[in-house]
Amino acid sequence: MKSYIPTINISPLLNSNFNSLMAKNTIKKIEKACIDIGFFQVIGHGIDIKEINNVCKIGNKFFNSSDDNKNKLAPKKWIKKNKNIYRGYFPNSVNGKEGLDLGDLQIKPHNLKKYKSRYIEYLDLTKSFNKPSIASLSNYYDNIFSLSEILFKGIIKLYKKNMKISNQAFSRKKTLSTLRFNYYPNQTKPVEISKQDGVALGCETHVDSGVFTVLYQDKKGGLQVQNRNNKKWYDVPFNKKALIINTGLALEYLSKGKFKATNHRVLWNKSTRLSVPFFFEPSHDFKMNINFLNSKKYSKKGQIYEKFLNQSLKKFIEYQR
């Protein structure tokens, strides 16, 4: 049976030369998937499956460590003595799943003061991780960020825009991009019962805030996507070689609704499950120009992304801090 979620080989884009016929055809496939569905899987993405599996092992080891070890990275809301508010670990008592939010690992105490945003924080991972694990996490963040940039530049190329827009929108250390680990424990009860079809959920129906989300889900699966037209739900099948991409509210806003954010959810599963999404988000001070795909020249007018994100996060219980 053909999957509702298309799989696209993006290897023609990896050299960042978007002018070849294969590259142009690949970008067209990405555009179609974004417009029609809002979700697609990518293979040929250049990130070694061994690296992905290693990052998953690091995540699982962290969530299976002691509460004391995890709470060293918990935000101030849960552990009063800690200074971090936005980044770090949150317990499953919040919304049925445990999570770990990592910002740009290039942020260090010596350069933190340069970036005046509530969402840019230094998180001392040495409190809970060994050095090899931190190096692996940092390398994975770099690789996923680069992959996300390639996808975004492909969209820019499609609309014959200046590639410098990507550099303006996504400046390392200034972006609010987040590498998150979601760990679903043995949930004794669903987080939500869908009002639409009565299905038990382990993660509520929602859309993402950023431009793209790049996700790796483990073989338990459980992720579902809603068809915007008939409102039916479709499984996103597990593919150990693939990364799942979906569009978010920021891209919908920038494209004046051409690339819509799509509802998705996770089915209730009584066994443990790990997913590793990367939320590709603009720089905190990026001006959200709504004529992004339609104007000949990028305008610096528009809502600042940090304010846009702040409004979007209000719907998530785990960010009510």
Tens of pLDDT, residues 18-61: 889 999 999 999 999 999 999 999 999 999 999 999 999 999 99
100, two tokens:
């770990």
Give 268's pLDDT tier (boundaries 50, 70, 90): confident
pLDDT, residue 44, reads 97
Nearest to 238 by CA among 1, 61, 5, 58: 5
pLDDT, residue 138, reads 98
What pLDDT digit, counting tens, does each position of 105-150 carry? 999 999 898 888 889 999 999 999 999 999 999 999 999 999 999 9
pLDDT, residue 218, reads 84
Burial, 59: exposed, middle or buried (Cβ in 10 Å; 0-12, 13-18, 19+)? buried
pLDDT, residue 254, reads 85
Q: Which residues of 75-113 are buried (b: 16+ CB within 10 A; e: fewer)?
A: bebebeebebebbbbbeeebbbbbbbbbbbbebeeeeee
pLDDT, residue 60, reads 96
Write the DSSP string, 205-223: EE--SSSEEEEEE-TT--E
CA triple 44-46-49, angle to 5 deg: 90
The residue with greater pLDDT, 94 or 272, is 272
Percent share of the chain, pLDDT over 70: 92
Torsion-angle region of 108 (φ positive above 0: left; ψ -120 to 50: alpha; else: beta): beta
Nearest to 281 by CA among 181, 153, 170: 170
pLDDT, residue 298, reads 47
pTM, two decimals, is 0.92
Query: What count of residues does the chain have?
Result: 321
Burial, 39: exposed, middle or buried (Cβ in 10 Å; 0-12, 13-18, 19+)? buried
pLDDT, residue 109, reads 92
Write the DSSP string, 89-157: EE-TTTTSSEEEEE--TT--TTTGGG---TT-----GGGTS-HHHHHHHHHHHHHHHHHHHHHHHHHHH
What pLDDT digit, counting tens, does each position of 181-207 carry? 999 876 677 777 777 777 777 677 788
Average pLDDT, the chain: 88
Pick the CATH number of 7-319 from 3.40.50.620, 3.40.50.10860, 1.20.1180.10, 2.60.120.330: 2.60.120.330
SS3 46: coil
pLDDT, residue 64, reads 96
CA 108 – CA 123 distance, rounded (Å): 8
271, two tokens:
């066994």
Give 299's pLDDT tier (boundaries 50, 70, 90): low
CA 12 – CA 24 distance, rounded (Å): 9
SS3 230: coil
